[in-house]
C-alpha cells in the first residue's frame, strides 16, 4: 500500500483536489449550490467521499513525511489518519440522517427537528466510529470503560447542572410537549415563541423581539401553558360588565351580534355569549370566541371590543361601573329595552319594499318568542303557522338523511327568516330549525302578510324571488332528504302564491 501511494501520489493529489472542488461546488458556488438542488444525493455521496478523502490526505502526508525524513512520525500519522476517517464516516452518516429528517418534516409540513436531537445523532454516530476505530486498534472497550469510570463519575459530579439540562432536553425532545414555532406562557407570566432547543436550553422570542434563554432543567420542572402556533385554533374568552337593568336576553343578543361582525373571529364554531355572574352588581357576561391562531389574538381582541362598544353605544347602554357598598357618584340608571317590533321587522329583506304603515300593520299582528339553546324552533315534518324572523341569536337548519343521520345546511343569524314558504304550499317542512344559541324570534302572522301582498301586487314578484332563492339554496339537501320533493320553477311559485291569495279572499263559511 505504501509503495502504491509513493508511485501514484500525483493521482491521489488530483483526487484530493477534486474532492475540494466537490465541496466548494456543493456549498458555495451559485445562487443555489448543488446541495440545495440535490440534498439527498450529495449527503449520500459524502458518506463515501468524506472518509476516503481523509485516507487520501493521510497517505499523501506520509509520502511527504518520508521525503522530509521523519520516520518516527509515520506511525502517528497513520494512526491519526484512521481515527479521522472513522470519525468523518460517523459524521457523514449523521449528516445524511439529518437531511432525511429535515426533508421529511418539510414534505409533511411539520416543524423542524430540534437541534438537540440532531446533536445527539451526531454524537452517537461519531462515538460509534470511535468505538470501531478502537476495536480495530486492539483496545478493549470494557477496559477503557473501567479505566475511565472514576473520571466519568468526577466529571458528572462537576457537571451535574449541565447534565441535568441535557437529560431534561432529551426527555422533552422525546415527549414533545411543544414544537418549534409554538408559543409558551411560563409560570411567571412571560410569553414567547419557541425558536430553538439545544442540549442546554430552550430559546423563546418574546413580543418585544428579545430572546429569553430558559435552561432545560428549569423548563422541565415547572408548569407552563402551550398556546400552540399558527396551525392551532385559539379560543379565549372575555368578560363584559353591563347594568342589571338591561334584559340579559337582550344583552347576550347584542354581544353575540357584535362578535359575529368581527372579521378576525371564526364563524365556525360560532361565538358563545353567556351570563357569567348575575348574583352581584353589575352583571358579568362572558364572550367566548375562536381565533385562527394565538398571534391573531391582539388584533381580534381590539376588533371585538370595538364592535361591542359600537353595539352598546347604538343601543344606549353604557358599560357598568364597579358598584361598591357606597356609591361615590350619582350614576344615571340605564334603562334599555329591546327594539320595537316595527324596528326589528326592518331587518327582513322584504321590509325594503314595505311602507311604514304596512310595517306597523305587521308589527300589530306580530309578537316576540324566546327560545333557549337547543330548543326546536320548527320540526321537520311540521307545518309552519307563521313567518318567523330571527331578531337575535343563531339557529341551525338541517335535514334527516335516509341513513338516519342529520345534515346541517346553514346557520341563520339576525335578519334571517323561515316559514315564508308556508304561503305557497301546505306541505310540511322538510327542514328542521334548532336554536344554536339563545334565540329571540318575531312571529309574523301569515294572514296579515297575505293581505298586504294582495293589496300590492307588485310585491308578488319580490316575494316569489325571495322564496325561489331560499328554495334553490336547499335544493341539494332536498335531493338527500327522506322526502321526495319536486323542483319548483319561478312559474310554479308564482301560481302557488296567486292560488293562496285567491283562497284567502274567499268568504269562510
Domain boundary assignment for the chain: 2-147, 177-228, 237-314, 341-505
Contacts of 504 (CB under 8 A, 6+ apart): 447, 450, 451, 454
According to the model, what pLDDT value does residue 509 have? 45
What gap in Å lies between CA 172 and CA 62, rounded to an integer? 47
* Residue 415, SS3 per DSSP: coil
Closest CA to 64 of 5, 4, 20, 15: 5
Helix (H) or strand (E) holding 335: none
CATH no., domain 177-228? 2.30.30.60
According to the model, what pLDDT value does residue 334 have? 63
Residue with cell 307588485: 458
What gap in Å lies between CA 273 and CA 436, rounded to an integer? 11
Q: Measured between alpha carbons, how far is residue 384 from residues 87, 377, 399, 462, 507 in Å?
A: 82, 10, 16, 21, 23
Out of 3.40.190.10, 3.30.70.100, 3.40.50.2300, 3.30.360.10, the CATH code matching 237-314 is: 3.30.70.100
Residue 309, CB-side half-sphere exposure with 13 Å CA sphere: 6
According to the model, what pLDDT value does residue 11 have? 65
CATH no., domain 341-505? 2.60.120.10
According to the model, what pLDDT value does residue 260 have? 94
Q: Are residues 500 and 423 in contact, defined by beta-carbon separation less than 8 angstroms?
A: yes
According to the model, what pLDDT value does residue 300 have? 95
The model's pTM is: 0.56
Peptide bond into 269 cis (omega under 30): yes
Q: Measured between alpha carbons, how far is residue 425 from residues 86, 461, 501 in Å?
A: 87, 17, 12
Asked whether this chain's domains 177-228 and 341-505 adopt the same fold, the reply is no
pLDDT in tens, the chain (509 residues): 555 555 555 666 676 676 666 666 665 554 455 556 677 887 887 787 778 777 777 777 777 777 777 777 777 877 888 888 888 888 888 888 888 887 877 766 555 666 767 777 888 888 888 888 777 777 766 655 555 554 555 455 555 667 777 778 777 877 788 888 999 999 899 999 999 888 788 999 999 999 999 998 889 888 899 999 888 999 999 999 999 999 999 999 999 999 999 999 999 999 999 999 988 888 999 999 999 999 999 999 999 999 999 999 999 998 877 655 565 676 666 656 667 788 888 877 677 778 888 888 888 989 999 999 999 998 888 888 888 989 889 999 888 877 778 888 889 888 888 887 666 666 677 788 999 999 999 998 888 888 888 888 777 777 777 767 766 666 665 565 444 445 556 666 666 656 665 565 555 54
- Give the cell for residue 196: 430553538
Amino acid at each position: 500500500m505504501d509503495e502504491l501511494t509513493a508511485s501514484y501520489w500525483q493521482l491521489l493529489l488530483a483526487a484530493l483536489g477534486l474532492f475540494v472542488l466537490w465541496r466548494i461546488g456543493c456549498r458555495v458556488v451559485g445562487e443555489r449550490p448543488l446541495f440545495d438542488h440535490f440534498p439527498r444525493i450529495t449527503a449520500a455521496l459524502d458518506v463515501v467521499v468524506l472518509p476516503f478523502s481523509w485516507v487520501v490526505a493521510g497517505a499523501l502526508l506520509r509520502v511527504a513525511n518520508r521525503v522530509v525524513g521523519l520516520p518516527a512520525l509515520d506511525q502517528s500519522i497513520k494512526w491519526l489518519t484512521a481515527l479521522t476517517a472513522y470519525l468523518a464516516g460517523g459524521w457523514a452518516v449523521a449528516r445524511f440522517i439529518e437531511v432525511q429528517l429535515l426533508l421529511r418534516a418539510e414534505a409533511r409540513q411539520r416543524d423542524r427537528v430540534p437541534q438537540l436531537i440532531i446533536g445527539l445523532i451526531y454524537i452517537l454516530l461519531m462515538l460509534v466510529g470511535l468505538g470501531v476505530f478502537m476495536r480495530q486498534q486492539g483496545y478493549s472497550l470494557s477496559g477503557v470503560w473501567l479505566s475511565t469510570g472514576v473520571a466519568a463519575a468526577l466529571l458528572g459530579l462537576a457537571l451535574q447542572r449541565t447534565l441535568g439540562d441535557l437529560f431534561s432536553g432529551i426527555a422533552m425532545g422525546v415527549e414533545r410537549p411543544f414544537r418549534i414555532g409554538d408559543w409558551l406562557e411560563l409560570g411567571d407570566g412571560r410569553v414567547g415563541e419557541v425558536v430553538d432547543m439545544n442540549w442546554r436550553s430552550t430559546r423563546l422570542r418574546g413580543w418585544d423581539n428579545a430572546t429569553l434563554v430558559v435552561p432545560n432543567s428549569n423548563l422541565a420542572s415547572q408548569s407552563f401553558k402551550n398556546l400552540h402556533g399558527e396551525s392551532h385554533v385559539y379560543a379565549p374568552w372575555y368578560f363584559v360588565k353591563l347594568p342589571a337593568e338591561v334584559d340579559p336576553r337582550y344583552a347576550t343578543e347584542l354581544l353575540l351580534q357584535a362578535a359575529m361582525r368581527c372579521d378576525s373571529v371564526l364563524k365556525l364554531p360560532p361565538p358563545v355569549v353567556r351570563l357569567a355572574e348575575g348574583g352581584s352588581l353589575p352583571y358579568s357576561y362572558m364572550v367566548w370566541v375562536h381565533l385562527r391562531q394565538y398571534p391573531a389574538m391582539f388584533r381580534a381582541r381590539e376588533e371585538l371590543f370595538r364592535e361591542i362598544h359600537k353595539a352598546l353605544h347604538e343601543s344606549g347602554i353604557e358599560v357598568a361601573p364597579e358598584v361598591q357598598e357606597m356609591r361615590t357618584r350619582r350614576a344615571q340608571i340605564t334603562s334599555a329595552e329591546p327594539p320595537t317590533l316595527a324596528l326589528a321587522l326592518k331587518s327582513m329583506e322584504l321590509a325594503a319594499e314595505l311602507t311604514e304603515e304596512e310595517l306597523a300593520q305587521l308589527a300589530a299582528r306580530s309578537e316576540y318568542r324566546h327560545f333557549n339553546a337547543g330548543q326546536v324552533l320548527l320540526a321537520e315534518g311540521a307545518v309552519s303557522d307563521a313567518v318567523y324572523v330571527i331578531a337575535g341569536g343563531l339557529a341551525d337548519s338541517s335535514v334527516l338523511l335516509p341513513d338516519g343521520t342529520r345534515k346541517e345546511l346553514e346557520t341563520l343569524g339576525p335578519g334571517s327568516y323561515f316559514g315564508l314558504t308556508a304561503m305557497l304550499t301546505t306541505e310540511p317542512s322538510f327542514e328542521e330549525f334548532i336554536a344554536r344559541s339563545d334565540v329571540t324570534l318575531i312571529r309574523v302572522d301569515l294572514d296579515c302578510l297575505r293581505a298586504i301582498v294582495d293589496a300590492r301586487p307588485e310585491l308578488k314578484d319580490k316575494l316569489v324571488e325571495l322564496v325561489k332563492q331560499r328554495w334553490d339554496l336547499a335544493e341539494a339537501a332536498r335531493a338527500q332528504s327522506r322526502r321526495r320533493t319536486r323542483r319548483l320553477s319561478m312559474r310554479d311559485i308564482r301560481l302557488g302564491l296567486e292560488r293562496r291569495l285567491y283562497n284567502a279572499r274567499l268568504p269562510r263559511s
